[in-house]
Amino acid sequence: MKENMVPIQIKVQNCDKIIECYPGENFNEAAQRKGLAIATTCGREGTCKSCAVRIVSGKVPAVTPDEKKLFDDMQLSRGWRRSCKFVPITDCTVHIPRRSLLVQSRHLIVIKKSDQLPPDPLVRSKLIKLEPSEIEGDADWERLLQALNRDETGPPIERIDLWLLRGLSRSLRKLNWDIKVYMRGDEVIGIGPYNSRAYGVAIDLGTTNIVGFLVNLETGEVLSANSTGNPQVSFGGDIMTRLARAARDRDVRKLMQKTVVDEINNIMQELCANEVQADDIVAEMVIAGNTVMHHLLIGLDIEQLGKAPFVPTICQALDIKARDIGLISTPYATVHFPGIIAGFVGSDHTMALLTSLSSLRKELSVIVDIGTNTEISIVDGDRIISISCPSGPALEGGEISFGMSATEGAIEAVQIDGNEITLKTIQNGAPIGLCGSGVLDMVAELYRNGAINHRGRLNITNPKVRSRDDRLEFIIIEELDGIEGQISFSQEDIRAVQLAKAAIRAGIDMLLKEIGRKETALERIIVAGAFGNFLNIKNAIAVGLLPPIPLDRFEQVGNAAGKGARLALVSKKQRLRAHTLAKTTSYLELSGQKAFMTAFIDRINFDYRKQNQIDGLKQSNGMETV
């Protein structure tokens, strides 16, 4: 081993990169060090194969029993291995399938003019001109305080932020006693020149993605927005895996906290780069996310959150100084964390409710945010009940044989007509895998074409259905490019979708049952979230994910959590409403409910009695999915 202390060179043939691996280091980590992030859905535990790469030349490690279970013989003989368990011992060449590459590139989000929000901000400002200090004069703060309270109409000012105080005397003199003072409640939180401005940042902190918005607090105008992957995914794709790892090891937990904080700092810098001048201040932030993201970021205990009965440390909304959680680029800013509803219904859902309810008349509505955990609320007049459904990642393209995130080349819409398969990919790229909306379309189309029966079983007599190692799969594309093999949809993939749609639909069943109404009585279904924005509602109805009510009662609203966070950022009134929402929304625990289990099992199959109705929908089902 001694001569091996020099790093081993691994050539990545499809990215034109050389990755250096230290002896004993796995390839997945080495690649991440080099800025090439490969998926790590199971947090490098070795159980998910989301990190699979193909070793094209060089020494291919022997097949382990675990790998026998994850890959078929052909894949193994072609050199497919898990990158998180692949510890190279000689130089070699590797192919990383594009669908396993996490696209870390940030992208800007286009903001519509209609996104301007009516401000009623928490932060107020006042222009002050003080006389230069005299020899025997009062202390700087006392004189400022007097000036501020002289004719102030708002609440009296009593305090000043400690960090600001430390530089107060210098600032006053540098600005020649001509200043704009920013206040929040009874506290002074910022000082700048006359022409300075106050900004706010709203963050939707998702398990997979982080979205940020920069807002002018005085006008409510959204100035810039961007989105990036949550770098915590290297600790596990889903929150339970991250929770478990953080609960087991305090150091890991701290590292996870630091990882997100660093990323939020980066996002803020980018958001502010072109808009915010050196003298301007970011005075206020709102961060919304699920309860686990929330607890991890603030640094709260999380062990109790992973086990029944899933007790959060705090549900109440929280105001914290940015620096206290490591957001040092804006140390004086207050970070507002909106209230939480329950252990698995976080402040992101509170924010989605805030957005949806502002346009809601008193109709019977369901708000559903589809993700690995799908939060659903039913709104019946003043009564709101929410649940969390364990839908799993299938509907986001996760844990599907050829699933991937919604990036270039992902199949986002599918149409099957007999032997004819029509695919639509993101940015018309060459197809490399299926993202969530493609997965849903796939199952719906298989069912429509009789390629699966009402129990979800693939029909072996269908010419596109193959049996390999006793496992059935539907071939979508025969041979990709000779390197990655085919693209197919397996029986297991179908089962995963069945479980996901059954969990969500059974959840809706439970909510309706709770208020004693039928699904036909639903007047509105609001589908929120990234996947929800792109899903084909007709297909969602066809597979039984959503109830069969007229299409015009559905509304796809996109990132409702982010919008809600912006509302809470600029408006005192909205923040108060969110407060009330979090407090009055009741939570229905599905665990241990026999009725949920029955409903769940009932919803796994496809409803063949509804076949006619679904066929009826087919007529109008074009490719206008996106």
Partner 1 sequence: MGNKADELVNAIAEMDEGKAIDLANQMLAEGIDPLEVLRLCRVAMNIVGERFEKQEYFLPELMMAGDMLEQIGAIVKPLLMDQAGGEEPETLGTIVLGTVHGDLHDIGKNIVTFMLELNGFKVIDLGIDVPIEKFIDAIEENQPQVVALSGFLTLAFDSMKETVEAIAEAGWRDKVKIMIGGGQIDEQVTNYTGADAFGKNAMEAVSLCNEWIGGAT
Residues forming contacts to ligand FES in the complex (CB under 6 A) are 40-42, 44, 46-51, 82, 84
Q: What is the DSSP string of 141-157?
A: HHHHHHHHHHS--SSPP
Q: Is the peptide bond before 309 cis (omega within 30 degrees of 0)?
A: yes
112 binds, among ligand B12, partner 1, ligand FES, none (CB under 5 to 8 A by kind): none
Q: Dump strand ranges (E) for 426-549.
A: 433-434, 465-468, 471-477, 487-490, 524-528
247 binds, among partner 1, ligand FES, ligand B12, none (CB under 5 to 8 A by kind): partner 1
Write the binding mask 402 to 431 for ligand B12: x where contact by CB under 6 A, - elsewhere.
Answer: ------------------------------
- In terms of CB distance, is 401 or 449 closer to ligand FES? 401
For the purposes of burial, counting CB atoms within 10 Å of the CB of 103, is it exposed (0-12), middle (13-18) or buried (19 or more)?
middle
- In terms of CB distance, is 41 or 377 closer to ligand FES? 41
Our finding on whether 46 is near ligand B12 (CB under 6 A) is no
Contact present, 372 and 391 (Cβ < 8 Å): yes
Chain positions 218 to 237 lying near ligand B12, rule: CB under 6 A, are none
Interacting residues with partner 1 (CB under 8 A) = 45-47, 65-66, 69, 240-241, 243-244, 247-248, 306-308, 455-457, 470-472, 491-492, 495, 498, 591-592, 597, 600-602, 604-605
Q: How far is the CB of 607 from ligand B12 (least distance, A)?
A: 19
388 binds, among ligand B12, partner 1, ligand FES, none (CB under 5 to 8 A by kind): ligand B12
Cα separation, 523 vs 509, whole angstroms: 15
- Please identify, among the stretches 199-207, 430-438, 580-588, 591-599, the one whose residues bind ligand B12 according to the rule CB under 6 A: 591-599
Residue 123, classed as helix, strand or coil, is strand
185 binds, among ligand FES, ligand B12, partner 1, none (CB under 5 to 8 A by kind): none
Name the nearest CA neighbour of 466 among 481, 488, 497, 494. Answer: 488
Contact present, 519 and 378 (Cβ < 8 Å): no
Contact with ligand B12 (CB under 6 A) among 37, 48, 440, 499:
499
CB neighbours of residue 143 within 10 Å? 18
- In terms of CB distance, is 176 or 591 closer to ligand B12? 591
Our finding on whether 623 is near ligand B12 (CB under 6 A) is no
By beta carbon distance, the residue nearest ligand FES is 84
Q: How far is the CB of 49 from ligand FES (least distance, A)?
A: 5
404 binds, among ligand B12, ligand FES, partner 1, none (CB under 5 to 8 A by kind): none
What distances in angstroms separate CA 369 from CA 345, 439, 529, 556, one per listed residue?
Answer: 11, 17, 5, 10
- In terms of CB distance, is 342 or 411 closer to partner 1? 342
Our finding on whether 388 is near ligand B12 (CB under 6 A) is yes
Our finding on whether 7 is near ligand B12 (CB under 6 A) is no
Q: 292 — alpha (psi -120 to 50), left (phi > 0) or beta?
A: alpha
Write the binding mask 598 to 617 for ligand B12: x where contact by CB under 6 A, - elsewhere.
Answer: --x-----------------
Q: What is the DSSP string of 400-439?
A: STTB--SSTTEEEEEEEETTEEEEEEGGGPPP-EE-HHHH
What distances in angstroms separate CA 206 from CA 133, 210, 363, 530, 610, one per listed residue?
Answer: 50, 5, 29, 11, 36
**DSSP H or E segment with residue 165:** helix 162-166
Scored b (16 or more CB within 10 A) or e, 203-242 reads bbbbbbbbbbbbbbbbebbbbbbbbbbbbbbbbbbbbebb
- In terms of CB distance, is 70 or 261 closer to partner 1? 70
- Residue 298 tokens read as 């603030």
CB neighbours of residue 602 within 10 Å? 14
470 binds, among ligand B12, partner 1, ligand FES, none (CB under 5 to 8 A by kind): partner 1
What torsion, rounded to 10 degrees, do the Cα atoms 571, 574, 575, 576 define? 120
471 binds, among ligand B12, partner 1, ligand FES, none (CB under 5 to 8 A by kind): partner 1
Tell me the torsion sign for CA atoms 368, 374, 379, 380.
positive
Our finding on whether 299 is near ligand B12 (CB under 6 A) is no
344 binds, among ligand B12, ligand FES, partner 1, none (CB under 5 to 8 A by kind): ligand B12
Contact with ligand B12 (CB under 6 A) among 392, 431, 529, 544:
392
Contact with ligand B12 (CB under 6 A) among 355, 373, 407, 559:
373
What torsion, rounded to 10 degrees, do the Cα atoms 545, 547, 552, 556 define? -40
Cα separation, 169 vs 131, whole angstroms: 13
- In terms of CB distance, is 66 or 319 closer to ligand B12? 66
- Please identify, among the stretches 252-260, 324-332, 389-397, 426-434, the one whose residues bind ligand B12 according to the rule CB under 6 A: 389-397
Longest alpha-carbon distance in the chain: 98
What distances in angstroms separate CA 340 from CA 256, 297, 558, one per listed residue?
Answer: 21, 14, 21
- In terms of CB distance, is 139 or 308 closer to ligand B12? 308
455 binds, among ligand B12, partner 1, ligand FES, none (CB under 5 to 8 A by kind): partner 1
Contact with ligand B12 (CB under 6 A) among 223, 240, 364, 477:
240
- Please identify, among the stretches 14-22, 143-151, 274-282, 596-604, the one whose residues bind ligand B12 according to the rule CB under 6 A: 596-604
Cα separation, 439 vs 395, whole angstroms: 7
- In terms of CB distance, is 182 or 600 closer to partner 1? 600
For the purposes of burial, counting CB atoms within 10 Å of the CB of 276, is it exposed (0-12), middle (13-18) or buried (19 or more)?
buried
Contact with ligand B12 (CB under 6 A) among 246, 590, 599, 617:
590
Amino acid at 313: T
Binding residues (CB under 6 A) for ligand B12: these are: 238, 240-241, 308, 344, 372-373, 388-390, 392, 499, 503, 590-591, 596-597, 600
